[in-house]
Amino acid sequence: MSQQKITPDDVRHVAHLARLEISPERLARLTSQLESIIGYVAKIGEADVTNIEPMAHALPLHNVFREDVVEPSLPLEMVLRNAPDVDGRFFKVPKIIGGEEDSAG
C-alpha cells in the first residue's frame, strides 16, 4: 500500500479551511505530526476484521427506563428554601440579557 506524503501545502490548506493562522515554525511540526496520525490510522486499517460484527460501543448497552409514574412533587416552601432570593413563588435571578432599554416598558 503506497502512502501519500503529507506536504506543508496540505497542512496550510487544512489550516485555511479551519480559519487558522500557522507560523512557518509550527507548520513543519504540524506537518510531521499529521503525517504520523495518518500513518497510525492506516495501521488500524490493516487489522483483519473479517468476522467482527460492527458495534457502536465496546460494551453491550441497553436503555434503562423507569415507568413514567406521576408522583407528588416537593412542596413549594422546600423548593425555594435554599434559593438565594425569591419573589413570591418564583426564583429571583439577576437580569443577564438585554440592557436598560429592555426594562423600560
Sequence letter at residue 30: L
pLDDT in tens, 34-78: 999 999 999 998 999 899 888 888 888 888 888 899 999 999 999
Q: Which H or E run contains 101?
A: helix 100-103
The β-bridge relationship of strands 90-91 and 86-87 is antiparallel
- pLDDT value at residue 62: 82
> Can you tell me the distance from the alpha carbon of 83 to that of 90, in angstroms, rounded to the nearest whole number?
10
Read off the pLDDT of each residue in 16-29 and give the average, rounded to a whole number: 93
> Can you tell me the distance from the alpha carbon of 105 to that of 96, in angstroms, rounded to the nearest whole number?
17
- pLDDT value at residue 83: 93
* pLDDT band of 1, cuts 50, 70, 90: very low
Read off the pLDDT of each residue in 10-30 and give the average, rounded to a whole number: 94
